């Protein structure tokens, strides 16, 4: 009957009969379920304030208004050079989100009982977005600009106001939960192979071709290793600084067109250096130091790169050149089992 639309009525579902709930039916035949306990301990289901909040919450125009607000907020966040009045607009958006949360709290209650505001996981995002908006605005956080990136989460609020999108995302989340065992197995296998890679290749990618010192340094180099000069006295370390020499990138061999020095190895089937260069472990790892097996974390990242086949052939070639072609078997196993 029309007189029962948009007003609190007794629970009709037998499943919820034992719980303290009531329902509100809209003109579109949509059923909203609320907790029958007083909202915020003071607002009963028939309290005028709560009834007004319920009518606002279930109205289709309210959801449309919130959705348009979110989309407008996203449009403002895309501006590379925001206007001078953009700060005022941010305050308006924050005020609208606060009003939305206040309506939900007055209509449903905050957290005590089922169907309250914080009992819905989708509202956790709203609560976090609003909280971070006030924290970043009124609390002096210095240069902690990373917290301001939480504003981007406002775009995710679109999920909560579009029923179809909410259903799809919910289905995806449930699918991920079902894949938990598969994910655990994958991480375990990656960890095992990362430990193997750590033991086999640790430090190998730092091996590079270093120019042999000029002829004039040969005697000084011998004296340095023997700790004596030609007169038998203690050598002056300033003659030839071995560490500085091998760490100097100007002494590395570079293949034309490549940013990193030529990787080499000292095993029989590893990559060799051109004449006048010797293979030494010096400098950083390839790709600005991000490609290595020197720690478990870096080895895990390298194995994850192999499993996802993200430019894996570069890692494959670097490793074989540093360690030897025999270790091709290791990569065959990883690619076969991982991909």
pLDDT at 278 over 90: yes
Containing 211, the helix (H) or strand (E) segment is strand 207-211
> What's the average model confidence in pLDDT over 195-224?
78
CB 128 within 8 A of CB 122: no
68 in the same domain as 38: yes
Q: Is the pTM of this model over 0.85?
A: no
> Whole-angstrom Cα distance, residue 163 to residue 330?
48
Q: Single out the residue of 126, 145, 30, 149 nearest to residue 70, CA to CA.
A: 126
Mean pLDDT of the chain: 84
pLDDT digits (tens, 9 = 90+) for 50-90: 999 999 998 888 888 988 998 898 888 888 788 888 888 88
197 in the same domain as 125: no
122 in the same domain as 141: yes
| Helix locations, 202-289, DSSP H | 218-226, 242-247
169 in the same domain as 68: yes
pLDDT at 286 over 70: yes
Of 125, 147, 178, which residue is a domain's last? Answer: 178
pLDDT attached to residue 16: 81
pLDDT above 90 covers what percent of the chain? 37
pLDDT at 182 over 80: yes
> What's the average model confidence in pLDDT over 239-256?
86
The size of the chain, in residues, is 339
Residue entry with tokens 């004596």:
228
Position 230 confidence tier, pLDDT thresholds 50, 70, 90: very low
CB 148 within 8 A of CB 136: yes
127 in the same domain as 219: no
Of 157, 178, 199, which residue is a domain's last? Answer: 178
Residue 201 lies in domain: 183-338
Of 139, 163, 178, which residue is a domain's last? Answer: 178
232 in the same domain as 167: no
105 in the same domain as 243: no
pLDDT at 226 over 80: no
232 in the same domain as 252: yes
Position 274 confidence tier, pLDDT thresholds 50, 70, 90: very high
pLDDT attached to residue 32: 87
pLDDT digits (tens, 9 = 90+) for 2-42: 777 878 888 778 888 778 888 888 887 788 888 888 888 88
pLDDT attached to residue 6: 78
pLDDT attached to residue 233: 44
Position 313 confidence tier, pLDDT thresholds 50, 70, 90: very high
pLDDT at 332 over 80: yes
pLDDT digits (tens, 9 = 90+) for 141-174: 655 556 566 667 777 777 777 778 888 888 888 8
190 in the same domain as 133: no
pLDDT attached to residue 145: 57
Domain count, the chain: 2
238 in the same domain as 106: no
Strands 207-211 and 277-281: antiparallel
- Please report, for residues 204, 250, 274, 288, 303, the alpha-carbon distance to residue 271 in angstroms, rounded to integers and kept in the order given: 12, 20, 10, 21, 22
pLDDT at 234 over 80: no
Look up the CATH number of the domain holding residue 70: 1.20.120.350
> Whole-angstrom Cα distance, residue 270 to residue 268?
6
197 in the same domain as 174: no
pLDDT attached to residue 150: 67
pLDDT at 216 over 80: no
155 in the same domain as 84: yes
> Whole-angstrom Cα distance, residue 228 to residue 235?
5
> Whole-angstrom Cα distance, residue 109 to residue 135?
23
């Amino acid at each position: 009957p029309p007189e029962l639309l948009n007003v609190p009525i007794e629970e009709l579902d037998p499943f919820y009969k034992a719980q303290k709930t009531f329902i509100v039916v809209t003109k579109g035949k949509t059923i909203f379920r609320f907790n029958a306990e007083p909202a915020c301990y003071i607002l009963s289901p028939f309290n005028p304030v709560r009834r007004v909040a319920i009518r606002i919450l279930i109205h289709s125009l309210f959801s449309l208004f919130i959705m348009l607000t979110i989309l407008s907020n996203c449009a403002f966040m895309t501006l590379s050079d925001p206007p001078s009045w953009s700060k005022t607009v941010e305050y308006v958006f924050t005020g609208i989100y606060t009003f939305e949360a206040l309506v939900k709290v007055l209509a449903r209650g905050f957290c005590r009982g089922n169907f309250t505001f914080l009992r819905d996981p989708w509202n956790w995002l709203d609560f976090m977005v609003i909280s971070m908006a006030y924290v970043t605005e009124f609390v002096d956080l210095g240069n902690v600009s990373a917290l301001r990136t939480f504003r981007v989460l406002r775009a995710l609020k679109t999920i909560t106001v579009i029923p179809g999108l909410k259903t799809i995302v919910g289905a995806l989340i449930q699918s991920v939960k079902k894949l938990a065992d598969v994910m655990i197995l994958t991480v375990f296998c990656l960890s095992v192979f990362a430990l193997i890679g750590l033991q086999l290749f640790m430090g190998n990618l730092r091996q590079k071709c270093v120019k042999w010192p000029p002829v004039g340094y040969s005697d000084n180099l011998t004296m340095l290793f023997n700790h004596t000069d030609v007169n038998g006295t203690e050598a002056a370390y300033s003659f030839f600084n071995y560490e500085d020499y091998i760490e100097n990138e100007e002494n590395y061999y570079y293949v034309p067109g490549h940013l990193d020095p030529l990787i080499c190895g000292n095993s029989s089937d590893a990559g060799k250096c051109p004449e006048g260069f010797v293979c030494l472990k010096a400098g950083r790892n390839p790709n600005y130091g991000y490609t290595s097996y020197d720690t478990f974390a870096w080895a895990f990242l390298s194995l994850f790169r192999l499993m996802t086949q993200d430019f894996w052939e570069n890692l494959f070639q670097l490793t074989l050149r540093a360690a030897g072609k025999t270790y091709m078997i290791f990569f065959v196993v990883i690619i076969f089992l991982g991909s």
